[in-house]
Structure 1
Amino acid sequence: MKLPRARRRLYLMRHGSVDYFLPDGTPVAPDSVPLNAEGERQADAAGQLFAQCGVRFDRVLVSGLPRTVQTAQRVLSASGQALTLDHEAALQEIRGGRLADIPADQVEQAFLGAFQGRGGSETEQQRFLGGESIGELLDRVLPAFDAWCARDDWQCLLLVLHGGVNRALLSTALAGQRAFFGRLEQQPACINVLDIGLGDEAVVRAVNLAPTQWLHEQERYTTMEKVLAQYLRLPP
């Protein structure tokens, strides 16, 4: 028996923590929201972990939104690496609609519904905050990701993307076909580890590793449940 050619390594991160709402409840434009202090700490911790493990990247890909750019920059700085960031707009987060257009009795479903499905066509029809559907997200994200996997200019690739996008990529890798498992939680600045082989083969080695709390000991709510609470201005 001959072993297959060694697979290439892909580290898939989510951006660090951000505040989508100001203390008075004013929403911050998702295309411009920056990392908060905790998000900076999380990104630094991830970079330090890569350094401790001797991980060196050939390329670093971000969606281009500030929160992914800032996270990647801090990861590189903390890991002692200097690389130019590649941007891929097709890998930006699932796009919501206008919060003001969502009826009060549909707010919870608008925030959480897209991430509660079990996969399949019904899940693909779910819309996030009245905007883009899961199916539309998959339509733009999967081809862009496949194009990067087909490139031959990297052996170790860091992607810093978003919770919804990461779910799409991880779900498809786990299922071996187009899929979206909304209940795959993605902590801020978490690290997922995949090995990419020939064609569309992918081996998922680790999911949702959070460098600042390995056992998720402080967590009982999902990221989107926390964002909903911020929008409703509920106490923590």
Structure 2
Amino acid sequence: MIPFPTPNRRRVYLMRHGAVTYFDETGRPIEPDTVPLNEEGRKQATAAGRTFAAENIMFDRVIVSGLPRTVETAQRVLAEMPAMQARGVALEQWPELQEIRGGKLGEIPEHELAQAFIGVFEGTVPEERRFLHGESIGEFLDRVIPALARLRDLPDWDTVLLVLHGGTNRAILSHAITGGERVFFGNLAQTAGCINALDVGDEPSDWVLRMSNFSPPSPVHFGSRLTTMEVLLQQYLRYRNPA
């Protein structure tokens, strides 16, 4: 009888950055690559850090996309973890893991707005579909999946924290839950500041999803049932079509 070989798996904690404000007080869009966390986002990042600290979790690497909202979230998480501060792990910026890139909102025809905002986050999304007339799902996967493979090839970590974006997290989760397939499930909810936990083994198909979309400030997700993009579409329509 051949003994069962014990799988050798490592742990990936995958976070979405905390909440940000994408429109100013007049409703005008703010450049998404520059927005910082808002007050709610800062609370979410702090809550996540306290959750990790309570479980005495340590990270060998901490990776962010480089956009300010991921950097600030990671910094606030680590600020709640004295043991990690003593360890002195520096943030690594992987720009290939930035959010799916949109085009210019003002160039999107009125009748295409809903599909442009929401279509990328509905069901199994075809690779040719574009986000806000910008990057396609296929182009997005072309940079996210190789970055994930590069992370798996690095031997010097057992537990890693990734602080990324709603779309990027969906790409990673879709890849993981299908055992390494190239697919994008748009309806995998990713609340601002949420935590996902995945284990990854040596074989390309060896992924185990332990936890998805855990939101430390509101674990049972009480409140609005709109998605992030549905809320943003409503905000943008008020700016574009003022009463």
TM interval, shorter chain, is over 0.9
SS in 1 for 2:56: coil
Between the aligned partners of 1:15 and 1:142, the Cα distance in structure 2 is: 20
Partners of 2:177 and 2:151 in 1: how far apart?
18
The total of aligned residue pairs comes to: 231
Deviation per residue, 1:5-42 (Å, 9 max, x gap): 43111100000000111120111111111100000000
Task: Output the TM-score relative to the length of structure 1.
Answer: 0.95
Contact 2:8 2:202 in 1 (8 A): no
1:226 and 2:228 correspond: no
Deviates more, 1:27-36 or 1:79-88: 79-88
Q: 1:73 aligns with which of 72, 75, 81?
A: 75
| 1:49 counterpart SS class | helix
1:125 Cα deviation from its structure 2 partner? 1.2
User: Aligned to 1:87, which of 93, 106, 109?
Assistant: 93
From 203, 208, 224, the equivalent of 1:199 is 203
Letter in 1 for 2:232: V
Q: Match for 2:112 among 92, 106, 111?
A: 106
Q: Matched residue of 1:137: which SS?
A: helix
Unaligned runs of 5+ in 2: none
Q: Deviations over 1:29-81 (max 9, x none)?
A: 11111100000000000000000011111110000000000000000001222
Match of 2:186 in 1: 182
- Out of 130, 133, 137, the position equivalent to 1:134 is 137
**One-letter amino acid of the structure 2 residue matched with residue 158 of structure 1:** L
Quick one: percent identity of the two aligned structures?
53
Stretches of structure 1 lacking an aligned partner (at least 5 in a row): none
> Segments of 4+ in structure 1 off by > 6 A?
none
- Classify the secondary structure of the residue corresponding to 1:124: coil
Q: Note the alpha carbon deviations across 1:163-205, whole angstroms, 9 max, x for none.
A: 0010001001111211100000100010000001003221111
Counterpart CA distance in 2 for 1:65 and 1:103 is 28
Query: How far is 1:88 from its partner?
Result: 0.4
TM-score (norm. length: structure 2): 0.92
* 8 Å CA contact 2:63, 2:94 repeated in 1: yes
